Amino acid sequence: MGAPATQLWLPALDRLDRAHPLRRLLAQADRLADVASSRLACLAKAFHADAATLPVAALIREHLAGDAGEATWLNADPAWVQPDMTGVRLLACGSMSLAMDEAQAFAGELQPAFAGLGLRLEVGAPNQWQVRLAPDAHLPDFATPEQALGEDLYQHLPQGAEGRPWRMLLNEVQVLLHQHPLNAARQSRGLPPVNSVWLWGAGRLPAPLQSGFAGVLGNDALLLALASRAAIPSQARTQEAVAAAQAGWLVDLQDLPAAEFGDAWWPAIQALAQRQPLHLAFAGGERWSWRPLHRWRFWRGASR
């Protein structure tokens, strides 16, 4: 049967230069059917879970702090929103390049707003914040960042009477952050302001998970949390680690800017492709299967 393929999750293919040598590799590989799934759905599937009910906040909290327990957890991730002619758009969430001291300063400013609902905001990591709730807490539906990014956030806020206190909380949070002095300092460094939070991923810690992967290599907090819950090894992402990735592992490069991936990370991918089968999955849904012997397919030299 041979060694299992190493899975590579890669940035959107349409952002990669048409002349990049990865396209020659794809021309020589076997094209598979596209899969139009969100990243959250792909992560859930990789760990035999349901994306619609995946308790993201509890998983991340347990991975970061080890104290998820029996509580219900809700993500309150730092976010950037911006008004335009038609509403207020969510432009970034959970990827705000925050230092821990910045995150704690922002969270400290927001504690009174959360205390009004009998809650405390916890900074699990600079870009991942959580709220601990009672195990039997009744919550409205919260949209994931993937669902709301780039859209009018008010279309994705929790609805109805059950959602009203959370909408009010979000309004208060935005008022508190609007003129925060740290935001002026961030913008002077070319960084976006932290002027909101995004509430999502509610639930309790699930039973231990399973995965078909032998291990994972990446920096994404949820991926590492899922690996931990499935009791499989994980490794931080470096170019050296990618080049040496073991058969059957998942290598997550999907969040890399296309230019950085195409330049700095291509040698590691090339080294990996020379010695073992790969399954290449792009953020846009395109899929290819590669085996080292495919490099002899000289007649497939055209770029795709």
Do residues 37 and 143 share a domain? no
pLDDT at position 220 is: 95
Is 161 a member of any domain?
yes
Distance CA 97, CA 152 (A): 23
**Residues 291, 274 contacting (CB under 8 angstroms):** no
Q: Same domain, yes or no, for 212 and 284?
A: yes
pLDDT band at 303 (very low <50, low <70, confident <90, very high): very low
Mean pLDDT for 202-227 is 96
**Which of 95, 100, 90 shows the shortest CA–CA distance to 191?**
95
* Mean of all residue pLDDT scores within the chain: 93
Say yes or no: 125 and 188 in one domain. Answer: yes
> DSSP of 92-134, one letter per residue?
EES-S---HHHHHHHHHHHHHHHHTTT--EEEEETTEEEEEE-
| Residue 301: per-residue pLDDT | 61
Q: Dump pLDDT digits (tens) for 26-61.
A: 999 999 999 877 999 999 999 999 999 999 999 999
**What pLDDT score does 2 carry?**
61
Domain of 31 in residue numbering reads as: 6-50+208-296
The pTM is what? 0.93
Predicted confidence band of residue 125 (pLDDT cuts 50, 70, 90): very high
- How buried is 160 (Cβ within 10 angstroms: 0-12 exposed, 13-18 middle, 19+ buried)? exposed
Residue 257 lies in a domain: yes
67 and 181 part of one domain? yes
Number of domains composing the chain: 2
Tell me the CA distances in angstroms from 54 to 49, 67, 172, 202, 214, one per residue in order.
7, 18, 28, 8, 21
- 82 with 176, same domain: the answer is yes
Residues 60 and 24 placed together within one structural domain of the fold: no
Calculate mean pLDDT across residues 234-243. 96
pLDDT confidence band for 302 (50 / 70 / 90) = very low
Asked whether residue 172 falls in the same domain as residue 246, the answer is no
Task: State the pLDDT at residue 304.
Answer: 44
Predicted confidence (pLDDT) at residue 21 exceeds the cutoff of 70:
yes
Give the mean model confidence (pLDDT) for residues 140-156.
94
| Of 204, 228, 250, the domain-final residue | 204
Helix 221-229 vs helix 56-65: angle between axes, to the nearest 10 degrees? Answer: 80
| Domain contains 304 | no
CB distance 279 to 25 below 8 Å: no
